[in-house]
């Protein structure tokens, strides 16, 4: 169950998202997982924070539950779970907007990097507190 501070975007399935089996290709789901994460960061981080840090993915784990098809409207929702200085666990759910069916869910691990050096860079405590449930 997501926490109350979930971030959401809406996505409409386009012909480019469809594979030879006439449903959304797995790569599209992965792209949406990344898109909602980036949108969340941009919506909540200050301009200075966005200039200081970039993010890289260390791991994606996706469970595909139900297919989506051309024209479906998708609700992509995300929230950050535990976070340490260098690893943020991000949860994502992709649901069909019309009926709330869970289509896919993902657990990703993201690492902040310094925008100038492109090397791992510990996120500030303020960032961890704003985005995540602190790691134990």
Domain coverage including residue 12 = 7-134
111-128 pLDDT, tens digit each: 999 999 999 999 988 888
Q: Does residue 1 lie within any of the structural domains?
A: no
pLDDT band for position 109 (cuts 50, 70, 90): very high
Report if residue 110 sits inside a domain.
yes
Residue range 11-62, pLDDT digits in tens: 999 999 999 999 999 999 999 999 999 999 999 999 999 999 999 999 999 9
Domain total in the chain = 1
Q: What is the CATH number of the domain that holds 124?
A: 3.10.129.10
Please report whether residue 26 resides in a domain: yes
In a domain, 91, yes or no: yes
Dist. CA 74–CA 116, nearest whole Å: 35
What mean pLDDT do residues 70-99 have?
A: 96
Please tell me the distance from the alpha carbon of residue 68 to that of residue 123, in angstroms, as a whole number. Answer: 36
Dist. CA 86–CA 112, nearest whole Å: 6
Confidence of residue 95 (pLDDT cuts 50, 70, 90): very high
């Amino acid at each position: 169950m997501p926490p109350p501070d979930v971030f959401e975007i809406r996505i409409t399935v386009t012909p480019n998202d469809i594979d030879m089996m006439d449903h959304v290709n797995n790569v599209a789901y992965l792209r949406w997982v990344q898109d909602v994460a980036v949108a969340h960061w941009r919506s909540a981080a200050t301009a200075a924070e966005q200039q200081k840090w970039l993010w890289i993915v260390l791991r994606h784990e996706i469970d595909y539950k139900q297919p989506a098809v051309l024209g479906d409207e998708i609700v992509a929702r995300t929230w950050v779970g535990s976070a340490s200085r260098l690893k943020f666990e991000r949860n994502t759910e992709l649901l069909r907007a019309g009926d709330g069916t869970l289509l896919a869910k993902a657990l990703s691990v993201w690492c902040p990097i310094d925008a100038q050096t492109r090397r791992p860079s510990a996120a500030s405590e303020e960032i961890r507190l704003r985005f995540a449930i602190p790691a134990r």
